[in-house]
Amino acid sequence: MSSIKAVDPLLKVENLTTRFDISNGFFSGISGRVHAVENISFKIDEAETLSLVGESGCGKSTTGRSILRLVPINKGKIYFKDKEITNLGSVEMRNYRKNIQMIFQDPFSSLNPRMSIGNAIAEPMKVHGLHEGKELQEKVYNLLDDVGLSPKHSKRYPHEFSGGQRQRICIARALGLNPKLIIADEAVSALDVTIKSQIINLMMKLQENYKIAFLFISHDVAVVERISHRVAVMYLGRIVEIGSRKQIFENPNHAYTKKLLNAVPIADPRLRKQNKREISNEEVPTPIKPKNYEPPLFKMNEIESGHFVYQEI
């Protein structure tokens, strides 16, 4: 799958920085900034899954939102195929969002409770003028079929479905626009374990059939290991290590990556004793900084082909 090196990557993010101002009230001005995403660069090829993994507050979701420009970005450039989309106006951007769809953690809150799921799936296609009338109906049925539901469900409402099924509906809705990239923001985190693996399998099947690329945002290291071609580890708004799945999991280099992998519980009681950790109470420091804070300079060392590790200079 990495044979398509010569062409432009599907998505290229260069030096993306997203910060949020904190103000202490109407008159007092800005008192500090949340450095949510701090100078990160990566690319995603066609039909590739790049996972962003890290703990809460490390900026993984903000990265996803920045790519769709759902939050204003401070610095950096975002390219989709060969075109820069960083400065597109809202109308042009809407057209681009057709190509980049998003699935969220809680499917119930992203579905309108008073809209039948058939209509919910059809709506984005109507908005973008892709299909009409009978053809649209047909397309909705196909999508339901694609995600493992049946056309007879199209008249039902979100509350009639289980969590896993609702996530299938959200996936169907995203698929309707034939996106090239789907940003899955903790898409399986709220699901029970048996359902989780089914949804992951579904996403992988769809990737194979439709050549969709995924930006898979998750804190669940074990799931990330299954689904990813490449992995980026985020810590405090930065990518501290990025490389192929094999490189990250079998040859972790950055101290934080090692700590993260070591913290994941192993589902085998026989391996328990070999896995002794030091009792620690270290916490992730806050990304909130005073307003004149200058982030440290850094470089990404390439330790293997395609495997980069963050280093401050």
The residues binding other proteins (CB under 8 A) are 1, 49, 55-56, 153, 156, 160-162, 164-165, 192-198, 200-201, 204-205, 219-223, 225-229, 245-246, 249-250, 259-272, 277, 279-281, 283-284
Q: Please compute, for residue 25, the number of CA atoms within 13 A of its CA located in the half-sphere on the CB side.
A: 2
Return the DSSP state at 180: S
Whichever of 283 and 312 has its CB closer to other proteins, that residue is 283
Return the number of the residue (110 or 197) whose C-beta is nearest other proteins.
197
Nearer to other proteins, 14 or 46 (CB): 46
Q: How far is the CB of 198 from other proteins (least distance, A)?
A: 7
Measure Cα distances from 176 to 122, 123, 125 in Å.
8, 9, 6
d(CA 46, CA 57): 28
Q: What is the DSSP secondary-structure string of 211-227?
A: --EEEEEES-HHHHHHH
Q: How far is the CB of 227 from other proteins (least distance, A)?
A: 5
Closest to 237 (Cα-Cα) out of 189, 286, 282, 281: 286
DSSP 8-state assignment for residue 257: H
Q: Is residue 141 a contact partner of residue 7, using CB atoms and an 8 Å limit?
A: no
Please report how close the Cβ of residue 24 comes to other proteins at its closest, in angstroms: 17
Q: Of 156, 214, 213, nearest to 187 (Cα)?
A: 214
Q: Which helix (H) or strand (E) holds 119?
A: helix 117-127
Amino acid identity, position 244: S
Least distance between other proteins and beta carbon 46 (Å): 15
Work out the burial of residue 308: count CB atoms within 10 Å of its CB; fewer than 13 is exposed, 13-18 middle, 19 or more buried.
buried
Q: How far is the CB of 98 from other proteins (least distance, A)?
A: 26
125 or 206, CB closer to other proteins? 206
The length of the chain in residues reads 313
Whose Cβ is closer to other proteins: residue 73's or residue 200's? 200
CB of 85 to other proteins, least distance (A): 27
Q: How many CB atoms lie within 10 A of CB 23?
A: 12
Q: CB-wise, 96 or 108, nearer to other proteins? A: 108
Distance in Å, CB of 179 to other proteins, minimum:
19
Alpha carbons 103 and 306: distance in angstroms, whole number: 28
Q: How far is the CB of 160 from other proteins (least distance, A)?
A: 5
Distance, in Å, from the CA atom of 255 to the CA atom of 246, rounded to the nearest integer, reads: 17
Closest to other proteins by CB, 43 or 219: 219
Question: With respect to other proteins, which residue has the nearer C-beta, 9 or 54?
Answer: 54
